[in-house]
């Protein structure tokens, strides 16, 4: 690896700041958990924000390891959410970060490549992140009921999560919104950040 391709202190700091913004985006998107029907589209909403942040981060820090550092705070956020679900979230974020790093190992300067990588990166939320809801539906719903969620809502969720094609819809919609997010990110870069002399 060339000397100027290595991450230095400045890059770690930029990734740390973007990592926190990513976690804030996840917390804001938690508004989707207001009902059982909208909760499954949580990754779809996060995808928009991740797409924007991912493109800007990759342009600002076009180096190997940036995506892994970017993923640390959300991964810890998942880990702190407890038990197997939290561990799967943590492992999923880091795994997809590594896959994304591998995809971009040669081309950190190609914006289309960055957009594809962003779409792959957010797949962890719609695949591994939704596995509990769609694969272990009964366990998930029983647990929700035991925690005190209203029985009618739990039964609605149970019947909703048994419609397996919905999972495919979540994956596709997350990919689409992430792609739109990257487009928005590129627009913000050219319209504002480059003009302001920040990038």
Please, which residues have CB within 8 angstroms of residue 72's CB and are 6 or more apart in sequence? 16, 19
* Residue 172: CB atoms within 10 Å: 12
Candidate ranges 110-118, 123-131, 143-151, 162-170; the one touching another protein (CB under 8 A): 143-151
Residue 150 as a binder of another protein (CB under 8 A): the answer is yes
Residue 163 touches another protein, criterion: CB under 8 A: no
C-alpha distance from residue 185 to each of 71, 177, 194 (Å): 18, 12, 12
Minimum CB distance to another protein smaller for 86 or for 166: 86
Q: What is the size of the binding site for another protein (CB under 8 A)?
A: 52
Of 50, 73, 117, 130, which one interacts with another protein (CB under 8 A)? 73
Cβ count near 15 (within 10 Å): 25
Q: Is 20 in the site for another protein (CB under 8 A)?
A: yes
Q: Does 2 bind another protein (CB under 8 A)?
A: no
Retrieve residue 55's tokens.
């493109």
Interface with another protein, residue 139, by CB under 8 A: no
Is residue 183 at the binding interface for another protein, with CB under 8 A as the rule?
A: no
What letter would DSSP give residue 61? -
Contact 145, 18 (CB under 8 A): no
Is residue 130 close enough to count as binding another protein by CB under 8 A?
no
The residues, any chain, with a CB within 8 Å of residue 199's CB and separated by 6 or more, are 56, 59, 60, 189, 193
Residue located via tokens 């609605």: 156
Residues that bind another protein (CB under 8 A): 7-10, 12-21, 23-24, 33-36, 39, 48, 52, 56, 60, 65, 68-69, 72-73, 76, 79-83, 85-86, 146-150, 152-153, 184, 188, 192-193, 196, 198-199
């Amino acid at each position: 690896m060339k000397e100027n391709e290595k991450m230095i202190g400045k890059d770690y700091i930029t990734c740390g700041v973007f990592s926190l913004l990513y976690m804030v985006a996840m917390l804001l998107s938690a508004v989707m958990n207001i009902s059982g029907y909208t909760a499954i589209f949580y990754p779809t909403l996060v995808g928009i924000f991740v797409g924007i942040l991912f493109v800007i981060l990759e342009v600002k820090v076009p180096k190997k390891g940036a995506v892994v550092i970017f993923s640390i705070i959300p991964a810890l956020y998942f880990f702190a959410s407890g038990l197997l679900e939290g561990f799967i979230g943590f492992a999923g974020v880091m795994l997809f970060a590594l896959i994304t790093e591998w995809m971009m190992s040669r081309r950190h300067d190609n914006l289309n490549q960055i957009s594809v990588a962003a779409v792959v990166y957010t797949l962890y939320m719609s695949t591994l992140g939704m596995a509990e809801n769609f694969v272990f539906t009964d366990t998930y719903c029983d647990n929700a009921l035991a925690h005190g969620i209203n029985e009618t809502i739990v039964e609605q969720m149970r019947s909703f999560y048994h419609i397996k094609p919905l999972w495919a819809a979540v994956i596709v919609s997350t990919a689409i919104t992430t792609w739109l997010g990257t487009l928005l990110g590129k627009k913000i870069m050219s319209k504002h950040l480059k003009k302001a002399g920040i990038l």
